[in-house]
Structure 1
Amino acid sequence: MTGVERRLRIERTAERVTATLDRPETRNAIDQAMIDELHALCAELEADPRILILIGADGVFASGADIAQLRDRRAQDARAGINTTAFRRIRDLPMPVIAAVDGYALGGGAELAYAADIRIGTPGVRIGNPETGLGIIAAAGATWRLPQIVGEARAAELLFTGRALTGAEALQWGLLSSLHESEDLLAAAHAIADRIAANDPLATRYTKTALRAAPDAHPAIELELQAELFESPEKHRRMTAFLERRSRR
């Protein structure tokens, strides 16, 4: 996208990537260009797996899909799953995805957050799915991811009423795992990433594979993944180091 204004600001290290949604003039509304950049980022992380942190610029995660574009989309666009495809690809990334949510995370912005493995936020969060008020449904993951996260009854209330949860409510409902002040949010996301990065990357990837597997895949998938890890030199190295540390106490 040379010569085109970027929608994502990306910072990279050896074990993580931080992607900042950066369309402050639209409260980081998700347009086609941002979706294209998310696909490009996913391709990078599929080829070179690292932890992903998603955060929004200027105290807003994402106010939703870009309504100016959404208004003009037709049936064939709905069937193409423009946002759905990108968010599903984020959910399926090999390593964990952390969404650091501040301010508005509405509609497609909320669904992007739902695609993450871990969500943290601030007291100022407003997260929900107002799509039915705009004459559409939440079709980029909310109708099946949200029940997995908060349960069917609470998901139904949110999706039918279109109301937005506060940060405190989202924490109580289990939609967010912790709350932080806005100025501390990114550091809190990096602290989680630090703890993940200290573990064996392959074991972390396999844990995510097992977590995301279909119910009827268990327990066979865990046993096969564990069998591979039991043959891993890293497993032997880490367990030997553990035993040596314990013997010195």
Structure 2
Amino acid sequence: MLFASHEFKTLLVDERDDRVHVKLNRPEVRNAIDQAMVDELHAICSVLEREPRILILSGTEANGKGIFASGADIAQLRERRREDALAGINSTIFNRIAQLPMPVIAALDGFALGGGAELAYASDFRIATETVKIGQPETNLGIMAAAGATWRLKELVGEPLAKEILLAGRILNAEEALAARLITEIHPAGQLIDAAHALADRIAAQDPLAVRITKSVFHTPREVHPVIDTIAQGILFESEAKFDRMQAFLDKKKDSRQNK
């Protein structure tokens, strides 16, 4: 077990051979992201960087209602000063999550606001329930969304909608988020985690090395393509999985023809 020796206070961790499910677990404050949670997410990343697994992120219920994360902990945020902002406390962990070797799935229920929304943007996949509310209320609090929303959100939904969310405080419901492709699936609350595992199953059925390299190449700057694509493909062309999987495909195709 990867995390058998870890004791988490703000996270619940469930491990499988090919994935790790991490639940944000501060229900008393609607899973607000505080320094302790940031530190524990760094610990998760430290392990997954060494031992790559698919990561599923979700929240725990608060007051009987599903919730992902209501944002940063306002009590802590109220006391932070310029040097804290320059340290990039949340942006650093969200960038680290975005750069994990294997894909990250955010399973969103209820509020995904502020830092909670930015954590979702840093994930590779976002699926949600019908009750999800996602957006950036920071300007109403006299600050800005500085942990990735100002650039990730524009890439995800386009400039006009991103400006509505960032500058006018628009909060998207599930149907609006789906229409904007900010999320890709809507599920009943009781089926959300099963849906996240079903997506993880589809990813796990692929060759892990091919998935890791494809994710890495996908996020490289435009100017390094197509050179990086060619180099990455050269690495994969020499992998045993490539030969085994292609031979299995050819054998299956041959058997299919013979059985006709």
TM above 0.5, yes or no, is yes
- 1:26, CA displacement in angstroms? 0.5
Counterpart selection for 2:239 from 209, 213, 232: 232
Counterpart selection for 1:22 from 16, 20, 25: 25
In 2 relative to 1, CA 75–235 (structure 1 residues): closer, same or farther, beyond 3 Å? Answer: same
Partner of 2:140: 133
Deviation digits for residues 55-80 of structure 1 (CA, Å, limit 9, x no counterpart) = 00011000000000000000000000
Distance in 2 (CA, whole Å) between partners of 1:71 and 1:171 is 33
Distance in 1 (CA, whole Å) between partners of 2:200 and 2:87 is 33
Distance in 2 (CA, whole Å) between partners of 1:201 and 1:222 is 17
* Structure 1 stretches lacking a partner, 5+ long: none
Partner of 2:40: 37
Deviation digits for residues 123-143 of structure 1 (CA, Å, limit 9, x no counterpart) = 100000000000000000000
Distance in 1 (CA, whole Å) between partners of 2:232 and 2:15 is 29
Aligned length: 248
Partner of 1:157: 164
Partner of 1:217: 224
DSSP 3-state at the match of 1:179? strand
Partner of 2:195: 188
Could you list the structure 1 runs, at least 4 aligned residues long, displaced by more than 3 angstroms after superposition. 2-5
Distance in 1 (CA, whole Å) between partners of 2:79 and 2:156 is 31
Taking structure 2 as the reference length, the TM-score comes to 0.94
Matches within 5 A, 1:1-249: 6-58=9-61, 59-249=66-256
Deviation digits for residues 149-193 of structure 1 (CA, Å, limit 9, x no counterpart) = 001111011100112100110000010001000000000000000
DSSP 3-state at the match of 2:187? coil
- 1:5, CA displacement in angstroms? 6.4
Residue identity in the other structure for 1:81: G
DSSP 3-state at the match of 2:185? coil
DSSP 3-state at the match of 2:186? coil
Residue identity in the other structure for 2:21: T
- 1:4, CA displacement in angstroms? 7.6
* Structure 2 stretches lacking a partner, 5+ long: none
DSSP 3-state at the match of 1:248? helix
In 2 relative to 1, CA 158–15 (structure 1 residues): closer, same or farther, beyond 3 Å? Answer: same
Taking structure 1 as the reference length, the TM-score comes to 0.98
Residue identity in the other structure for 2:176: E
Residue identity in the other structure for 1:128: G
In 2 relative to 1, CA 211–5 (structure 1 residues): closer, same or farther, beyond 3 Å? Answer: closer
In 2 relative to 1, CA 184–60 (structure 1 residues): closer, same or farther, beyond 3 Å? Answer: same
Distance in 2 (CA, whole Å) between partners of 1:10 and 1:3 is 10
Distance in 2 (CA, whole Å) between partners of 1:76 and 1:122 is 37
Distance in 1 (CA, whole Å) between partners of 2:6 and 2:223 is 48
